[in-house]
Amino acid sequence: MQTHAEAMEGNTPTLAKCPIDHTTISQQKTPKIIEPAHGTMNYDAANDIWNIYGFEAARAILRSPHTRQAGFNAEVITRIPNQKNTPILYQEGKVHQQQRKQTARFFTPKAVSDNYRQLMEELSDRLIQQFKREKKIDLSQLSMQLAVRVAGEIVGLTNSRLPGMDKRIEAFFEQDFAPGKGKLMDKVRAIWAQRRMLSFFYLDVKPAIDARRRAPKQDVISHLLEQKYSDAEILVECVTYGAAGMITTREFISVAAWHLLEQPELRERYLAESEEKRFDILHEILRLEPIVGNLQRRTTAEIKLEANGQEMSIPAGALINIHLHSSNTDQEIVGDYPRVICPGRDLQGERVPTMIMSFGDGAHRCPGAYVAIQETDIFLTRLLALKELRMTQKPKVSWSDLVTGYEIREFLLALD
């Protein structure tokens, strides 16, 4: 049987007759539940939802012109009255394609390197110097500061009236979005949510809008103003970018550091490699630990799927739940030891990305993928190079129902 060292090097032997179920060998830290790694599909009649567990079926759904966004409160957001412009995250068809094309200039690898690499390096250096002075940090807080500052620069949230935008965004996304058991609790929750939203708007979003009305810049808010978006519509875009560009990157920095700190050989290899090879290692960690665990779509017409020997016809109007932890460990695609970090896997299939489905696919694929990976790499190469670095407390992992993903908190590190 393959040793752990062999798995780390990616030298996977043929194990067709091995009696051991390799899917039970796991380095995963974050799944809410352990899902199948065999690419199945099924219909859950009790909850009236179609579950997709395999890579090929997931990709077919995400690329289908007969589905629309159903996750991230999409079916609530798109019904908000007096909206002339639906948020980009929830747009579909030609309107969405046009907006993605217009905003792509902020997220291409060249644009990210040319416009934001220096910022990422300076911020990372500053945070590492802070760590050296204080000797102790909570990585989940430090990574939030970095992610908010970088995403804020791209979006245009750079004119806050008061410091602490990272805390305001964190408070907003950590509130309970689930409906209460009674009308009183629903009202209390709604008032509290509104208070946090208004705080974010008046302290962070409104000053940025006013500044860009006077002097536009090369950022998302300036682009939205050019498109005649209202202040309220820009606020919604900032909230969605806040979830996508700040909260998720923060979690990935933490989970990648966690794996690399617990695996000294992989950490050493990561620090010695070229940027391209380091990105491959980060992609493999992200494959194993996708930040968003589920993507939901609703069909607008009947869809017929065929994958892993299964055939399924999904009717129009159906809700589909794509399970990314499962899709990312589909043995038909990733091979043996699907739940082990193994950079350099021989992936099976046509143009399969190394992070599999972690950034989504199709029209709604995450536009900030390169931002997240480059930002994480720049910070981690500095953090992990600290020879006296040690983990004093393993982080706590919880689950966010809003983004259907994990949250890593109280990740305590120290320098001896």
Res. 80 pLDDT band, cuts 50 70 90: low
Percent of the chain with pLDDT over 90: 64
343, 52 in Cβ contact below 8 A?
A: no
> Which residues contact residue 207 at a Cβ distance below 8 angstroms, ignoring those fewer than 6 apart?
159, 160, 161
What pLDDT, in 10s, does the model give residues 84-96? 777 777 777 787 7
- pTM score: 0.88
CATH of 4-415, one of 3.40.640.10, 1.10.630.10, 1.10.8.870, 3.40.190.10: 1.10.630.10
So what's the pLDDT on residue 9? 45
pLDDT beyond 80 at 339: yes
In degrees and rounded to multiples of 5, residue 294 shows phi and psi of -140, 145
pLDDT value of position 98 = 82
Which H or E element spans position 279? helix 275-288
What is the pLDDT at residue 175?
57
Pairwise CA distance, residues 104 & 114, whole Å = 14
What pLDDT does residue 79 have?
Answer: 54
Give the mean model confidence (pLDDT) for residues 32-51: 87
Cα–Cα nearest to 155, from 104, 230, 218, 229 = 218
Place of tokens 């021989």: 346
Least confident of 46-50, 179-183, 368-372: 179-183
Q: 117 to each of 109, 133, 158, how far by Cα in Å? A: 10, 24, 17
Residue 391: in which H helix or E strand, if any?
A: strand 389-393
In this predicted model, what pLDDT tens digit does every residue of 386-404 receive, in sequence order?
999 999 999 999 988 777 8
Side by side, the strands of the sheet bearing 136-138 are 136-138, 412-415, 389-393
**pLDDT higher than 60, residue 5:** no
Average pLDDT, the chain: 87
The pLDDT of residue 101: 82
Q: What is the dihedral of CA 318, 367, 122, 263, to 10 degrees?
A: 60
For residue 132, what pLDDT is reported? 97
Q: For residue 146, what are the CA distances in angstroms to 1, 142, 164, 218, 381?
A: 42, 7, 12, 20, 14
pLDDT greater than 80 at residue 20 = no
Q: Kindly report, residue by residue over 89-126, the tens digit of the pLDDT.
A: 777 778 778 888 888 888 899 999 999 999 999 999 99
Q: Residue 137: helix, strand or coil by DSSP?
A: strand
pLDDT digits (tens, 9 = 90+) for 144-169: 999 999 999 999 999 999 999 998 88
pLDDT band at 2 (very low <50, low <70, confident <90, very high): very low
**Average pLDDT of the residues in 398-412:** 89
Span 323-336, mean pLDDT?
A: 94
Does 413 have pLDDT greater than 80? yes
pLDDT tens by residue, 248-271: 999 999 999 999 999 999 999 999
pLDDT digits (tens, 9 = 90+) for 260-300: 999 999 999 999 999 999 999 999 999 999 999 999 999 99
- Residue 13: what pLDDT? 42
CA neighbours closer than 13 Å in the CB half-sphere of residue 59: 18
Banded model confidence at residue 14, pLDDT cuts 50, 70, 90: very low
Q: State the DSSP H helix or E strand holding residue 296, giving kind and residue range, or none if neither.
A: strand 294-299
> Which value, in Å, is the radius of gyration of the alpha carbons in the chain?
22
Query: Does residue 71 carry a pLDDT above 90?
Result: no
What per-residue confidence (pLDDT) applies to 172?
72
Q: What is the pLDDT of residue 95?
A: 78
| First CA to last CA distance, the chain | 39
Q: CA angle at residue 85 from 363 to 402, to 5 degrees?
A: 60
Give the pLDDT of residue 188: 57
Phi, psi of 16 (to 5 degrees): -60, -30
Cα–Cα distance for residue pair 355/352, rounded to 1 Å: 8
User: pLDDT higher for 340 or 404?
Assistant: 340
Give phi and psi for 28, each to the nearest 5: -65, 145
String of DSSP letters for 74-101: HHHHTT-TT-SS--GGG--HHHHHHHHH
Q: Measured between alpha carbons, how far is residue 134 from residues 147, 250, 261, 272 in Å?
A: 21, 21, 20, 27
User: What per-residue confidence (pLDDT) applies to 15?
Assistant: 40
Task: List beta partners, residue 399.
Answer: 406
DSSP H helical ranges for 201-274? 206-214, 220-226, 231-241, 248-262, 264-272
